[in-house]
Amino acid sequence: MHGRRAAAIWRGVSAAGILVLIAGCHSGLTQPKANALGPNHLAAEGLATISSACEMQSFESARSGLIVSETGLHEDVFTLRSRASYASLAFSLDDALKLEEVLQKSLKTNQQSGDQQECVQQFEGYLETLTDPLVERDKLAKDLDATAFKDSTKEAQEEVKREKDLEGLAPKSK
């Protein structure tokens, strides 16, 4: 009897542990949603993180320490390690393009030292290599959609014309 009770308690604790593990993984605690604060906040966080890392190390070292992953998807082009919490910040395509823009503006103001500025410039170029293929694919898809729409419109107009021609040829009944 005592063995059954211990087994039941063990199963209950195991089930509770699994639920906590699943809830913890999906709660967003490990990857904060910086998007909730807006794209400018995420770009500002990215700029601060990149600038800070570039003060102390080369581009290659900074990149390998900051870029957590590169998925190449619209939702998450890449994830950047936050300098404050060390959590991964996911950058969507729009966020990544905004970060590129902020980095370019930062380079124009020329507030960094030579090595730091070069590192930031390399980061900006690196981000372009991640976003440009996605932007190009979007443009191509948009062009294909526009072409398909034009073709279908033309086809529909021709169909209407054929129907009118057939109506004109049909014998009229009284």
pLDDT above 90 covers a percentage of the chain that reads 10
Domain range for 93 is 29-133
Looking at the structure of the chain, the number of domains it has is 1
Residues 109-167: tens digit of each pLDDT: 877 678 888 999 999 999 998 888 888 888 877 777 767 677 677 777 888 788 777 77
Residues 3-30: tens digit of each pLDDT: 666 666 656 556 555 544 454 444 443 4
Residue 143 lies in a domain: no
Please indicate whether residue 37 or residue 42 has the higher confidence score (pLDDT): 42
Residue 20 lies in a domain: no
Write down the mean pLDDT value for the chain: 76
Residue 68 lies in a domain: yes
The 3-class SS string of 56-125 reads HCCHHHHHHHHEEECCCCCCCCEEEECCCCCCEEEECHHHHHHHHHHHHHHHHHCCCCHHHHHHHHHHHH
